[in-house]
Amino acid sequence: MYNSNSSSNGPRKPFSRTNSRPGSSRPSTYAGSNPRPAGSYSSSSRPPFRGGSRFGGGRPSGNRGGAGKRPHGVYIDPNKFINKAVITEEIEHFKPEHKFDDFAVNPVLKAAIKSKGYELPTPIQDRTIPHILQGADIVGIANTGTGKTAAFLIPLINKVLLNPKEQVMILAPTRELAIQINEELKGFTRGMKMFSVCCVGGMSITKQISDLRYQYNFIIGTPGRIKDLIERRMIILSEFNSIVLDEADRMLDMGFINDMRLIMAGMPKKRHTLFFSATLSPDIEKLIHEFLNQPVRISVKTRDTSKNIDQDVVRVGAGMNKLDMLNDLLQKKDFTKVIVFSRTKHGAEKLSKLLVQKGIKVESIHGDKNHSRRQQALKAFKENKVQVLVATDVAARGLDIADVSHVVNYDVPATYDDYVHRIGRTGRGDKKGKALTFLE
């Protein structure tokens, strides 16, 4: 069970309510190391690839059915996988309008922000925090790794400091992201006697029910588990005046639309709604119109992929062994911390075992692993105890892991959005990263 009940916050009190509730080395074909100039791949030199079992597709494991079903793979122009990173000196330097000290927040929160080493806000933080503090509904469009979690947590923590009875709901598409948000919240609120309950699948619902009987200000969870707890009357939606829909495009993509609608319908009509997405599709626009009231739109996204990510392809010719090619890449000195994406759960587990046999330190995360084993794998990767993390799309959504040197698409993603999400695990913040996509 993850919550912010730490000793520094003191003991939690039972939550009294008026409502009663039931209880050998091969020559590498990595484009960056052969004579072929980067970006010279021509999509007309081979037939287009579309979906099917060869290149991946189908709905990712963990979808809940209904709306948001994804296509069984779509055509992706291979040229989209090639994009040289901009040289650092050519990157425009963002000049924030504010310092964290400028924001009208409680001095205790300012001290917490400073203790975390925050001085200048990122673009999304600089633009959104003032509006959220004023109570405006927000649509925030930003790439991953831009600091959007702190962008909504800081003003919401301030709201709770102003009114200790305030309750906030934060929805995220995956348990890993929900846990990550909860950990960041704890980092800000240490010693403030502010509590949270993390409600996600793959963990004991009994423990979560128990924690919900005590005082809390934040519920952070995935739509499916939140819905289950609502149906058990352990969460009373009318008591929540603020809600965050984080990575809303991912939740829609994963088939959570009906759960999202149920949750929003149960909340007061006069509420504070913060909506964050990396993309703006017609379906997302529809949700914005449905869920938000005259929102302030803030976009700090200038392109689909970060300027810091050097993207290229690895061409697998006839007679070449794809696994050996991957192994050769992983022997290179700069491949220090690598996420390798596989299309299926079975493929991820098989690939990780084959890499172990080749002497590489590997862990894997996918839907067939329980929560505890996934967290252990992530911990080993974060702490550099293993070099490689093999993952499926769903299992890796929302992961924020520092210093990932490379992302390798061992299997081509089903959609371009999936590609953007995958490679966003590297090149985060002002760090450089490399992304390679295997093409057969």
Same domain (yes/no): 348, 256: no
Q: In which band, very low, low, confident or very high, does the pLDDT at 309 lie, cut at 50, 70 and 90?
A: confident
Domain boundary pick from 299, 333, 354: 299
Q: In which band, very low, low, confident or very high, does the pLDDT at 151 lie, cut at 50, 70 and 90?
A: very high
Q: What is the pLDDT of residue 353?
A: 95
**Bridge-based pairing state of the strands 406-409 and 388-391:** unpaired
Q: Which of 280, 284, 285 is nearest to 299 (CA)?
A: 280
Q: What is the pLDDT of residue 302?
A: 52
In a domain, 316, yes or no: yes
DSSP state of 429: T
Domain boundary pick from 280, 299, 318: 299
| Digit-coded pLDDT (tens) for 242-255 | 999 999 988 988 88
92-96, 201-205, 233-237: segment of lowest average pLDDT: 92-96
Domain containing 228 — which CATH number? 3.40.50.300
Q: In which band, very low, low, confident or very high, does the pLDDT at 368 lie, cut at 50, 70 and 90?
A: confident
Q: At a CB cut-off of 8 Å and minimum separation 6, what does 139 contact?
A: 275, 276, 277, 288, 292, 295, 296, 297, 298
Q: What is the pLDDT of residue 21?
A: 40
Q: What is the pLDDT of residue 253?
A: 82
**Residue 141: pLDDT over 70:** yes
Q: At a CB cut-off of 8 Å and minimum separation 6, what does 191 contact?
A: 8, 9
Q: What is the pLDDT of residue 367?
A: 84
| Digit-coded pLDDT (tens) for 18-58 | 444 433 333 344 444 433 333 333 333 333 333 333 233 33
Same domain (yes/no): 112, 254: yes
Domain boundary pick from 299, 320, 346: 299
Same domain (yes/no): 334, 392: yes
Span 196-210, average pLDDT = 94
In a domain, 12, yes or no: no
Same domain (yes/no): 85, 97: no
> What gap in Å lies between CA 104 and CA 123, rounded to an integer?
18
Span 199-210, average pLDDT = 93
Q: What is the pLDDT of residue 283?
A: 87
Same domain (yes/no): 50, 63: yes
Q: Tokens 């992201």 appear where? A: 177
Span 263-281, average pLDDT = 93
pTM of this prediction?
0.60
In a domain, 25, yes or no: no
| Digit-coded pLDDT (tens) for 57-77 | 333 333 343 333 334 566 777
Q: Which of 380, 344, 434 is nearest to 62 (CA)?
A: 344
Span 354-367, average pLDDT = 94
> What gap in Å lies between CA 171 and CA 226, rounded to an integer?
9
Q: At a CB cut-off of 8 Å and minimum separation 6, what does 398 contact?
A: 144, 172, 173, 174, 176, 177, 180, 247, 250
Same domain (yes/no): 289, 336: no
Q: In this structure, which long-range contacts are made by residues 48-51, counting pairs with CB atoms below 8 Å and at least 24 apart in sequence?
A: 48/75, 49/75, 49/76, 49/412, 50/74, 50/75, 51/414
Q: What is the pLDDT of residue 24?
A: 39
**Residue 416: pLDDT over 50:** yes
In a domain, 435, yes or no: yes
Same domain (yes/no): 154, 82: no
Considering the chain, what is the average pLDDT of its residues? 81
Q: At a CB cut-off of 8 Å and minimum separation 6, what does 15 contact?
A: 212, 213, 214, 215, 216
| Digit-coded pLDDT (tens) for 96-117 | 788 898 999 999 999 999 999 8
Q: Tokens 């800000």 appear where? A: 188
Q: What is the pLDDT of residue 359?
A: 95
* Contact assessment for residue 174 and residue 209, using Cβ atoms and an 8 Å cutoff: no
Q: Which of 217, 242, 238, 243 is nearest to 12 (CA)?
A: 217
Same domain (yes/no): 136, 219: yes
Largest interatomic CA distance in the chain:
72
64-68, 260-264, 398-402: segment of lowest average pLDDT: 64-68
Span 197-209, average pLDDT = 93
pLDDT cut 70: percent of the chain above it:
76
**Residue 369: pLDDT over 60:** yes
In a domain, 264, yes or no: yes
The first and second tokens of residue 427, run together, are: 């090149």
Q: In which band, very low, low, confident or very high, does the pLDDT at 15 lie, cut at 50, 70 and 90?
A: low
Same domain (yes/no): 155, 193: yes
Which of the two residues, 46 and 430, has the higher pLDDT score? 430
Same domain (yes/no): 134, 164: yes
Span 367-384, average pLDDT = 89
Q: Which of 54, 37, 51 is nearest to 316 (CA)?
A: 54
Q: At a CB cut-off of 8 Å and minimum separation 6, what does 204 contact?
A: 1
Q: What is the total count of domains within the chain?
A: 2
Tell me the residue range of the domain where 285 lies: 93-299
Angle between helices 371-382 and 175-189 (to 10 degrees): 60
Q: In which band, very low, low, confident or very high, does the pLDDT at 144 lie, cut at 50, 70 and 90?
A: low
Same domain (yes/no): 320, 250: no
> What gap in Å lies between CA 70 and CA 249, rounded to an integer?
12
**Residue 170: pLDDT over 90:** yes
